[in-house]
Amino acid sequence: MDSDLRLRVVHPTQRILTGRVVRLLEGYPREVRVGQPVLVAVLTAASVVGLLMLLVRSLLSTGGGGGARRGWKDLKKGPEFLVTPLRVRDAAGLLYEVELHGHLPQSALHPADHVQLTLRRQPDPDLPPRVERIVNVTTGQLLTPRTATVWSHLGPPLLLQALLGALLLAGVAACSVVTG
Q: 28 pairs with which residues across the strands? A: 83
pLDDT at 174 over 60: yes
pLDDT recorded at residue 166: 86
Mean predicted confidence (pLDDT) in 84-113: 90
Question: Which string of DSSP letters, residue by residue, matches 65-119?
Answer: --PPPP-HHHHHH--EEEEEEEEEE-TT--EEEEEEESB--TTS--TT-EEEEEE
Q: What is the pairing mode between strands 95-101 and 9-10?
A: parallel
Domains of the chain: 16-28+82-143 (2.40.50.140)
C-alpha to C-alpha distance for 139 and 121, rounded to whole angstroms: 26
Which among 90, 91, 88 is positioned nearest to 128, based on CA atoms? 88
Q: What is the pTM of this model?
A: 0.63
Mean predicted confidence (pLDDT) in 27-42: 81
Q: Tell me which amino acid residue 178 is.
A: V
pLDDT in tens, 118-165: 999 998 889 999 999 999 999 999 988 887 777 777 778 888 888 888
In the DSSP assignment, the letter for residue 123 is S
